[in-house]
Amino acid sequence: MKRFAILLLLVFASGLILSSCGSGSQPATEEKSAAGALPADIQAMMPKGEQIYKTKCVVCHQTTGLGVENVFPPLASSDYLLADKTRAVAQTLNGSKIEMIVNGKKYTQEMLPQVDTKEDAVAVINYVLNNFGNNGGFVTLDEVKSVEVKPRTAAPAK
């Protein structure tokens, strides 16, 4: 409840800041894709990456890739993501439960494993690296060959 109140405050505060800078019409991220500069095999996996993003990631990281401050970290202009693509593939594949600082904000919630294969993890991370205004290059299957697919634990009882 307290967290929700803080979120509301943040949303309100960012609205104030935006409306106080003139037109306030500047979008937080550009819908720009750098896919044109990518190798053909990476470009070929984009539709699959997009489909995975739209079905699995969007609920937390949002259609904008901006996430929810202090709850779900941003993938748009994420300093943490762009610093280590192999780590991003590993986290998407095996989940992540650590304290991380992304663009100066702290995140502590757990992300469960999101995909079952390295191919899917690489495809969705390449999609993320080249959308939401990111111009993050790409990652190949070869580069993540040392990442192990950890055994899935049974779903926690609800």
Residues that bind ligand HEC (CB under 6 A): 52, 56-57, 59-61, 72-75, 78, 80-81, 88, 91-92, 96-98, 100, 102, 107-109, 111, 114-115, 124, 128
Among candidates 155, 91, 78, which has minimal Cα distance to 121?
91
CB of 149 to ligand HEC, least distance (A): 14
Q: How far is the CB of 1 from ligand HEC (least distance, A)?
A: 19
| Residue 26 CB, nearest approach to ligand HEC (Å) | 22
Nearest to ligand HEC of 15, 119 (CB atom): 119
Separation of alpha carbons 36 and 84, rounded Å: 22
- Owner of token pair 């003139």: 22
Q: Are 51 and 89 in contact (CB under 8 A)?
A: no
Which among 125, 35, 17 has a CA at the least distance from the CA of 80?
A: 125
Nearer to ligand HEC, 16 or 54 (CB): 54
